Amino acid sequence: MSNDLPLPTADDIAAAGRRIADMAIRTPLLENPRVNDRLGGRLLLKAEPLQRTGSFKFRGAYNFISQLTPAQRRAGVVAWSSGNHAQGVAEAARLLQTAATIVMPIDAPAVKVANTRASGAQVITYDRIKDDREAIARELADREGRTPIPPYDHPWIIAGQGTIGPEVLDQARTMGAVLDAVIAPCSGGGLSTGIATAVKALSPITQCFAAEPAGFDDLARSLAAGTIQRNAHLTGSFCDALLAPCPGTYTFALARRHLDGSLVATDEEVGAAMELAFREFKIVAEPGGAVALACMLNGRLPIKGRTICVVCSGGNVDGVLFASVLSADRRAAV
């Protein structure tokens, strides 16, 4: 079905913005003068941990389900996800009175599984190594007539996540800022390419980057090769939200067209970025949510004399892991 749809445009993203406006939170764009002083530039942090369900994923899920026909909504939806898409779909389904079944990895953070169930969704677990989650979900979709909601490679999902683009441009304007660049975390690429699609149309001078964890830099390597490249492993970064095996067909096409590149940060750098988000911005960032900040803090993109918007994409992290990050000696230099 999705392969019949054209690539999403800035207009599609504007329409998605209107569709989700009453339900999604317009999360704040945070700024800290002390951090700016130390960086010698202006860092604007988009705080999507404060989004409904604790991550940006609600945007795409709500944009998707709200476009289903009444008959499709009655038949229900099915999704596969390491956790944030799961919660986004479950909550959007609850609000739109649609039954959701979610296929989640058995090692997903407990908080993500619990929250998915709390929104009323049915959860089915799978093994990241042995099982094919997409096959499990598609089989369910065929058997029960449910609509599958892909985590990233669908124009409606990409358009929903992309609504962050116009939002940060508008918020930056209110703050008297013109964005030199936007960096967004990247797993399958729905968020980073959605944002880039909107931003390049509305503010062509603004550069757009994805950010990936080291060892899971499939998009960076795909852009370099000109063809879709896969990650060597399916587990092994503590950025549990960013372990998609490769870019999607839609997201790769958009990445080649609109992204200026994909930056990479190590787990160690991500931990330090989480600590900075805690200490200076008072928000809870999960590992995958902090990877764009980690890239910025570690000089993957120069900020001196410039204004850079970093998307912090989610905050669904277990307390024990967060405590270990704060206890470890990994303060960012900033």
Active centre residues (catalytic): 57, 313
Name residue, tokens 């960012």. Answer: 332
Which of 182, 322, 332, 334 binds its own copies (CB under 8 A)? It is 322
Q: Based on CB atoms, which residue is closest to its own copies, 191 or 254?
A: 191
Inter-residue contact 190 to 152 (CB < 8 Å)? yes
Which of 11, 305, 319, 333 binds its own copies (CB under 8 A)? It is 319
- 3-state SS class at 293: helix
Question: Binding of its own copies at residue 235 (CB under 8 A)?
Answer: no
Element (H, E) at 277: none
Q: Using CB under 8 A as the criterion, what x/- string covers residues 131-170 for binding its own copies?
A: ----------------------------------------
Structural Rg of the chain based on CA atoms: 18
Q: Based on CB atoms, which residue is closest to its own copies, 32 or 72?
A: 32
Burial class, 317, CB count within 10 angstroms (exposed 0-12 / middle 13-18 / buried 19+): buried
Q: What are the angstrom distances between the C-alpha of 223 and each of 132, 191, 247, 257, 308?
A: 26, 16, 10, 10, 22
Which of 13, 14, 24, 30 binds its own copies (CB under 8 A)? It is 30
Q: With contacts defined by CB under 8 A, name the span among 44-52, 58-66, 151-159, 184-192 that binds its own copies.
A: 44-52
Q: Based on CB atoms, which residue is closest to its own copies, 33 or 204?
A: 33
Which of 24, 244, 283, 301 binds its own copies (CB under 8 A)? It is 283
- State how far the Cα of 6 lies from the Cα of 2, in Å rounded to an integer: 9
Which of 275, 290, 296, 334 binds its own copies (CB under 8 A)? It is 275
Q: Based on CB atoms, which residue is closest to its own copies, 134 or 318?
A: 318
Question: Binding of its own copies at residue 279 (CB under 8 A)?
Answer: yes
Q: Sign of the C-alpha dihedral, residues 296, 112, 279, 236?
A: negative
Q: Based on CB atoms, which residue is closest to its own copies, 12 or 240?
A: 240
Distance of CA 45 to the CA centre of its chain: 14
Q: Using CB under 8 A as the criterion, what x/- string covers residues 48-67 for binding its own copies?
A: -xx-x-x-------------
Amino acid at residue number 302: P
- 3-state SS class at 253: helix
Which stretches of 29-144 are DSSP H helices? 33-39, 57-65, 70-75, 84-95, 110-118, 133-144
Q: What are the angstrom distances between the C-alpha of 43 and each of 27, 40, 195, 257, 296?
A: 16, 9, 17, 26, 9
Question: Binding of its own copies at residue 118 (CB under 8 A)?
Answer: yes
Question: Binding of its own copies at residue 111 (CB under 8 A)?
Answer: yes
Question: Binding of its own copies at residue 320 (CB under 8 A)?
Answer: yes
Q: Based on CB atoms, which residue is closest to its own copies, 283 or 296?
A: 283
CA angle 54, 208, 55 (to 5 degrees): 5
Question: Binding of its own copies at residue 91 (CB under 8 A)?
Answer: yes
Question: Binding of its own copies at residue 33 (CB under 8 A)?
Answer: yes
Question: Binding of its own copies at residue 174 (CB under 8 A)?
Answer: no
Give the DSSP per-residue string, 254-274: HHHHH-SEEEEE-HHHHHHHH
Closest CB 288 distance from its own copies, rounded Å:
14
Inter-residue contact 77 to 98 (CB < 8 Å)? yes
Q: Based on CB atoms, which residue is closest to its own copies, 225 or 320?
A: 320
Q: Which residues bind its own copies (CB under 8 A)?
A: 25, 27-28, 30, 33-34, 37, 47, 49-50, 52, 54, 91, 111, 115, 118-119, 275, 278-279, 281-284, 315, 319-320, 322-324, 326-327
